[in-house]
Chain A
């Protein structure tokens, strides 16, 4: 009888893909809860639609590719992609937005490149960008927080808006978004961006009703929720610390410099941290082990680049938020970053192989 002796290290690796994915999905719960509390049922409906579409798409492609269906279908990666996509969509977008998005994410971005572990881009963010450039109107109709709405939106109303475009009372998305005083409400980032073109200062923009006391009604709590989930993941060692830390730090430094140079035309650092998709991006999107950089140094560079890009696009770009674009650009540069940040192999000199 022969004993198979493995080489060291002899520690037991008990993590499976499915358990890791499940952990990440659990960690999104605080953020989703905040979304539900401040913005109503829209995102939950989109998440369930996206998950259903993703599972069907995954099943179809896996059976076309003659792969083992059950283990790959339920490894949770498709579900996680769909959840992340559902979180990032505008709450009152029509139903086909999330269906098209998650089919695109799974079938084209993930499976066409060879399935989990082979996709060069983050599927959820690629799908989000695809939707944003394909359907700019539907993808920019963000719903204001419930507390600012002139009407009361219940689950049935949200369902009706998502599936037919109108509430049972006959209000359209545009009418729901309109404030009682007759102006349309946007997201905090949108507000600041628009006001900047109107020649208002940041301090004046902060008076807008969507921004509220701090950085945005609801948005600050959603970001806090994702921060909480992210810290939970860090404590479980499910994600590496280097990417989120360097991303947040880089965004902080960039916005701090800009704020120091011209406080009137630049939002504060904490505004950048707690609006938009910053925390979701930092802990759930950029930490994707497949499309990101691999070494610690590489991850630091990767996160810093993403933070710089988010700041630059938010400040100078045409779109108010930038996490999806920044993530895709960083995914593109990840192989290059990996090549130049190759760690030293134990027992070898640095720079033997370039």
Chain B
């Protein structure tokens, strides 16, 4: 089976090279505000990914009929529709998580990562590629959210997957891992400043890895072009 190389590029772009969280730095507000635990991060990440896939697919499907001048309001309407769906679904099935995400769930509408993809990719490409792009960008965003949530949760309260039952149902209570016992929470990591600091370290880590990869690659030999310099003035 032959895979379109386009998909490979899309996956690489979304997950690493052009990651919405680490490189584009889009959607920082929810990224920094709700990642105090892995479960919150997972909930918001999945919601964002769902909205991203659906909005990309829809925008791409109607791209022939959208007048260029009013495309942004139309994109926003489409995104808002899907966000409302997600919000109602989460209200119905994961009420506690819905409560703990609070305002940041409806705020997905204003997440620049989503409208950015609609504008930059989905409005110019066919449905299949656009949906795949949405999936990969969403996964990239989700990964950053979860990693950040894990760092903050471990440093802040010494646990992992605390409150997983809010998202996954009663069976998931057993997922909670207590890594170490803290007498008192490390509030800085739970509060927004901790998110900024951890995010800075994540970006620095990605840059280091990129730098190492670039150094490890064999350097292309520059072709030496020898040309005679002709200077007519002197």
| CA distance in complex: A112, B197 (Å) | 11
Residues 181-198 of B at the A interface (beta carbon under 8 Å): 184, 186-189, 191, 197
Q: Are A134 and B197 in contact (CB under 8 A)?
A: no
Q: A136 near B: Cβ within 8 Å?
A: yes
B-facing mask of A93-131, CB < 8 A → 1, else 0? 000000000000000100010000000000000000010
| Count of A-B residue pairs with CB < 8 Å | 16
| CA distance in complex: A136, B191 (Å) | 13
A-facing mask of B165-205, CB < 8 A → 1, else 0? 00000000000000000001011110100000100100000
B contact residues, total (Cβ < 8 Å): 8
Instruction: Give B199 Cβ to nearest chain A Cβ, in Å.
Output: 13
| CA distance in complex: A135, B182 (Å) | 12
Instruction: Give B168 Cβ to nearest chain A Cβ, in Å.
Output: 30
| CA distance in complex: A222, B197 (Å) | 35
Q: A260 near B: Cβ within 8 Å?
A: no
Q: Are B188 and A133 in contact (CB under 8 A)?
A: yes
Which of the residues B184, B188, B197, B200 comes within 8 Å of A137, measured between beta carbons? Answer: B184
Q: A138 near B: Cβ within 8 Å?
A: yes
Instruction: Give A52 Cβ to nearest chain B Cβ, in Å.
Output: 21
Q: Are B187 and A108 in contact (CB under 8 A)?
A: no
Q: Are B187 and A133 in contact (CB under 8 A)?
A: yes
Q: Name the A residues within 8 Å of B197 (CB-CB).
A: 108
Q: Are A135 and B191 in contact (CB under 8 A)?
A: no
Q: Are B184 and A138 in contact (CB under 8 A)?
A: yes
Instruction: Give A60 Cβ to nearest chain B Cβ, in Å.
Output: 15
Q: Are B191 and A133 in contact (CB under 8 A)?
A: yes
- Candidate in A134, A137, A138 with the most chain B CB atoms within 10 angstroms: A134
| CA distance in complex: A130, B155 (Å) | 14
Q: Name the B residues within 8 Å of A137 (CB-CB).
A: 184
Residue of A nearest to B188 (CB): A134
Q: Name the B residues within 8 Å of A112 (CB-CB).
A: 200
Residue of A nearest to B204 (CB): A112
Q: Name the B residues within 8 Å of A134 (CB-CB).
A: 186-189
| CA distance in complex: A137, B200 (Å) | 28
Q: Name the B residues within 8 Å of A138 (CB-CB).
A: 184
Residue of B nearest to A104 (CB): B188
Q: Name the B residues within 8 Å of A130 (CB-CB).
A: 188
| CA distance in complex: A108, B198 (Å) | 11
Q: Name the A residues within 8 Å of B186 (CB-CB).
A: 134-135
Residue of A nearest to B191 (CB): A133
Residues 138-157 of A at the B interface (beta carbon under 8 Å): 138
| CA distance in complex: A133, B185 (Å) | 11
Instruction: Give A36 Cβ to nearest chain B Cβ, in Å.
Output: 28
Residues 275-303 of A at the B interface (beta carbon under 8 Å): none
Q: Name the B residues within 8 Å of A136 (CB-CB).
A: 187
| CA distance in complex: A135, B188 (Å) | 8
Residue of A nearest to B189 (CB): A134
| CA distance in complex: A133, B186 (Å) | 9
Q: Name the B residues within 8 Å of A108 (CB-CB).
A: 197
Instruction: Give A108 Cβ to nearest chain B Cβ, in Å.
Output: 7
Instruction: Give A103 Cβ to nearest chain B Cβ, in Å.
Output: 13
| CA distance in complex: A162, B184 (Å) | 16
| CA distance in complex: A137, B183 (Å) | 11
Instruction: Give A191 Cβ to nearest chain B Cβ, in Å.
Output: 25
| CA distance in complex: A130, B197 (Å) | 12
Instruction: Give A319 Cβ to nearest chain B Cβ, in Å.
Output: 15
| CA distance in complex: A135, B187 (Å) | 7
| CA distance in complex: A136, B188 (Å) | 11
Residue of B nearest to A94 (CB): B183
Instruction: Give A131 Cβ to nearest chain B Cβ, in Å.
Output: 9
| CA distance in complex: A130, B194 (Å) | 10
Beyond contacts A108-B197, A138-B184: 8 other A-B pairs, Cβ-Cβ < 8 A, are A130-B188, A133-B187, A134-B187, A134-B189, A135-B184, A135-B186, A135-B187, A137-B184
**Could you list 16 A-B pairs, sorted by A, with CB under 8 Å?**
A108-B197, A112-B200, A130-B188, A133-B187, A133-B188, A133-B191, A134-B186, A134-B187, A134-B188, A134-B189, A135-B184, A135-B186, A135-B187, A136-B187, A137-B184, A138-B184
Chain A residues proximal to chain B, CB less than 8 Å: 108, 112, 130, 133-138
Closest 8 pairs (CB-CB, A-B) = A134-B188, A134-B187, A134-B186, A130-B188, A135-B184, A137-B184, A133-B187, A133-B188
